[in-house]
Chains A and B, each alone.
Chain A
Amino acid sequence: MKKLSSLLLALCLVLSLGVGAFAADGIAPEDLKIGMVCIGDNNSGYDIAHITGLEEAMEALGVPAENVTYKYNIGEDETAADACYDLAENGCQIIFTDSYGHQSYTQQVAGEYPDLTFVAMTGDQAKQSGLANLKNAFNHTFESRYVSGVVAGMKLAELIANEELIDENYDADGNVKLGYVGAYPYAEVVSGYTAFYLGVKSIVENVVMDVRYTNSWFDITAEGEAANALMSDGCVIISQHADSTGAPSAVQAYYESGHTVFCVGYNISMLEVAPDVALTSAANDWSVYYTYALQSMIDGTEIATDWSEGYNAGANKIFPLNENAVAEGTAEKVAEVEAALTDGSLQVFDCSTFTVEGEHPTSFLAIDLDGDFEGDEGEAIDEDGIFHESLPELRSAPYFSLRIDGITELS
């Protein structure tokens, strides 16, 4: 009897603890305080995309606008840790850092504040850090890039059909040349340019692409120079994974000097700087993730360590097509491709559509455990030959780093 009653008592205790903990975990929207560390401010398209996403999420969930504290122009150095500490000390329950390089500092502060939630947006160390309160999130940007590649491919097909291309636009094997301005030779960029290339290739089979790196996320001059170098090599369409308007401006100028060139932007609409040549821009809709993360805080549920969604969740998009520049029928084709990405019938990295050193890849280990830059575990290619990018059970940040045939990295 005594045993039974003590058992009951223990059970009650456990239950009440559980309920109590659950109730304590959820935070009413008006009490939810958010910290946001930005690498730039409202002058940078990348930060605007995050700020807009967060503000849309707050509005949708009824979190008052004054509950967010922004830290602008925080570099990828110890000032990022300073900013996180400061937000933590000032009562923020969830703190986002928006740039990859903030991550190790976010992690440092997360280790000291285990009761608060930290999200290193676009980061990749949450799982390996072993910290329960550190999260990563990344949209399927590669899907947007694939769709923007389809737009470019439609344009290319039109240019070929109208015989608007010149000899310099073809390589020795008769492939049309594309150009890509990349920031760093990092998996995120490789994954992106490969997706763009495959998007073009899905429309026009005989294409090759040159990639030039600027070694900066934001450098108007270097991006413009890289685009100029690519165009003088004969590249017809220039896309980019860098945050400025440098490349589209250069393409517009080259077009005005009498050449046939077009471009695809990133993060912001390039119509203002390149009204004749910008076809569209690949983009992310971060509000999907911010809504999910804030809703989880309000409900008191655990936020996924790695979150990654794409068209299926509405987290990806391209900017409205430039009707002055795109080929006829592009809108219909885009709608068809977007629908196929949304329902999963189309996979961007289908290994049957590309080769690495002449072979269709069959195996790729995504996760590097010991820091030697070689994958140690996490098979990303399934038996049907589909490379699954940004699988949440592996890692939300892109890991596709295969250098496929047809693409040449120049610098």
Chain B
Amino acid sequence: MNNHEPLIHIAKRDGMVWWRAWLVRLAAAIAALLVCALFIYGLTKLNPVKVYAAMWQGAFGSARRSWITVRDATILLCIGVGLAPAFMMRFWNVGAEGQVLMGGCATAAVLIYAGRALSTPMLLLIGGAASIAAGVLWGVIPAIFKARWNTNETLFTLMMNYIAIQITCFLVAKWENPKGSNSVGIINQQTQAGWFPAIFGQQYMMNVIIVLALTVGMYLYLKYTKHGYEISVVGESENTARYAGISVKRVIIRTMALSGAVCGLSGFVAVAGASHTISTSTAGGRGFTAIIVAWMAKFNTFVMILIAFLLVFLEKGAIQIASQFKLNDYASEVVTGIILFFLLGSEFFIQYTVHFRSHGHKKEVQA
């Protein structure tokens, strides 16, 4: 009678062994695929296995498709890697979209204005440096305001995106080719000046090398350096950091400079290494998608590789099933939504345990 225990009792776990956490995630992925299968069959009467096979075909069905998947995943990964230090510091940098665009604009400017005068290695060097500078600028402005006047960085970085989008539109109109087309077209299409050169005969190998180097570098930086330690302390508690003698302002500005630099460099990879043009679709929402990448991976840059590939796989698969089964894009967006819902949801069961009240004895549901 005096048992007023609630029906559901949620408690934080002390921690789950890594292999059990991964089993939970695997179970969530399988459950997601089953629910999607029900959805696909219920709505379209198509064989879900065939639809999944088509998605696989779309992402990895040929050497070229695989490389395109790799190309897009590396750019998404690169942005995610850029976001990692900011998020670890609990600095909500939702401005990656703008930082990528500014990096892309800087790269495009170098390719357009110096394309005839300089050799490709020089163009890449200057373009890379320019993109970093532009990304740093876009990252540091909100950081300075946060550090000095404690402004809200989420709104600030978000607003910086819109400025960057407008600047990109302005530059597209300025550089448009042919005039009036509202498109810059392919920059240096004839000479390929300032394009990433093919390495081992692979057009996108250099993208992979750059981004993998950044991924490893960022992992080491966050995990094993003094800077990385300072970032995590500031992230846990600014007061603790201050007590420990860490200059919070300096860490905020330094970390956002780094975050902006890597995001800007993503714009460089996207322009010089992939699209060879500039438009607002150079970022195309990837600055926001990368937030999911960074969060789901808990700022572990190696796990980000997996997440980035998963998201790009879903996107390519979606295009393929739209083309093959005449399924509207919305159908594939639902599939992507279901899968993400389950994967994000599974994190809850890794962090918490759920107890149900029952007559007499408690039953623990192990997720």
| Residues A89 and B279 in contact in the complex (CB < 8 Å), given A101-B183, A124-B178 | no
Known contacts A69-B323, A71-B323, A186-B180; decide if A76 and B279 are in contact (CB<8 Å): yes
A315–B31 Cα distance when bound, in Å, is 52
Q: CA A309 – CA B28 in complex, angstroms?
A: 57
- Interface members, chain A 92-130 (any B CB < 8 Å): 100-101, 104-105, 107-108, 124
In the complex, which of the residues B177, B275, B329 contacts A73, with contact meaning CB atoms closer than 8 Å? B329
Considering residues A42, A77, A104, which has the most beta carbons from chain B within 10 angstroms of its beta carbon? A77
Within 8 A of A (CB), among B263-285: 274-277, 279, 281-282, 284
Known: A78-B276, A86-B65. A100 touches B329 (CB 8 A): no
Q: Smallest CB–CB gap between B319 and chain A, Å?
A: 7
A76, A101, A105, A373: which contacts B179 (Cβ < 8 A)?
Answer: A373
Q: Are A72 and B323 in touch, CB under 8 angstroms?
A: yes
CA distance A86 to B183 in the complex (A): 23
**B68 at interface, CB cutoff 8 A:** yes
Q: Which residues of A contact B181 (CB under 8 A)?
A: 100-101, 184, 186
Contact flags A11-44 to B (C-beta < 8 A → 1, else 0): 0000000000000000000000000000001100
Of B189, B323, B328, most A-chain CB atoms within 10 Å: B323
Bound-complex Cα distance A108 to B185 (A): 11
B71: min CB distance to chain A, Å: 9
Q: Name the distance in Å between A395's Cβ and chain B's nearest Cβ.
A: 11
Q: Which of B186, B275, B282, B322 is in CB contact (< 8 Å) with A72?
A: B322
Q: Which residue of A is nearest B65, CB measured?
A: A86
CA distance A82 to B323 in the complex (A): 14
Q: Give the nearest-CB partner of A69 in chain B.
A: B323
Q: Is the CB of B189 within 8 A of A108?
A: yes
Contacts of A187 in B (CB 8 A): 180
Question: Beta-carbon contacts of B224-266 to A below 8 Å, as 1s and 0s?
Answer: 0000000000000000000000000000000000000000000
**A378 CB → nearest B CB, Å:** 15
- Chain A's closest residue to B58 (CB) is A86
Known contacts A86-B65, A101-B181, A371-B177; A72 and B277 CB within 8 A of each other: no
Q: B185 contacts A185, CB within 8 Å? A: no
At the interface, yes or no: A392 with Cβ under 8 Å from chain B?
Answer: no
Is A364 positioned at the interface, with any CB of B under 8 Å from its CB? no
Residue from B65, B180, B276, B319 within 8 A of A184 (CB atoms): B180
On whether A215 and B182 interact (CB within 8 A), knowing A71-B319, A86-B64, the answer reads yes
B185–A77 contact, CB under 8 A?
A: no
A189 to B179, CA, bound (A): 13
12 contacts between A and B (CB under 8 A): A41-B322, A71-B319, A73-B319, A76-B279, A77-B281, A78-B274, A78-B277, A82-B68, A86-B62, A86-B64, A86-B65, A371-B177
**Assembly CA distance A215 to B166 (angstroms):** 13
A104 and B189 within 8 A (CB): yes
CB distance from B168 to the nearest CB of A (A): 13
Q: Is the Cβ of B281 less than 8 Å from the Cβ of A75? A: yes
* A77 in contact with B277 (CB, 8 Å): yes
| Assembly CA distance A107 to B178 (angstroms) | 14
The reply to whether B185 and A104 contact each other, CB–CB distance below 8 Å, is yes
Interface residues in A63-85 (C-beta closer than 8 Å to B): 69-73, 75-78, 82, 85
Give every chain A residue within 8 A of B183 (Cβ-Cβ): 76, 100-101, 104
4 closest cross-chain pairs (CB), A and B? A186-B180, A78-B275, A104-B185, A101-B183
Instruction: Point out the residues of chain B lying under 8 angstroms from A75, CB to CB.
Output: 281, 284
From A77, A100, A185, A215, B275 is in contact (CB under 8 Å) with: A77
Q: Which of B275, B319, B322 has the most CB of A within 10 A?
A: B319
Q: Given the complex of chains A and B, what is the CA–CA distance between A70 and B326 in angstroms?
A: 8
Instruction: Name, among A69, A78, A215, the residue most crowded by chain B CB atoms within 10 Å (CB to CB).
Output: A78
**A185-B178 contact given A69-B323, A77-B279, A78-B277, CB 8 Å threshold:** no
Given A72-B322, A77-B277, A104-B189, check contact A371 B178 (CB 8 Å).
yes
CB distance from A122 to the nearest CB of B (A): 11
Nearest neighbor of A71 in chain B, beta-carbon distance: B323
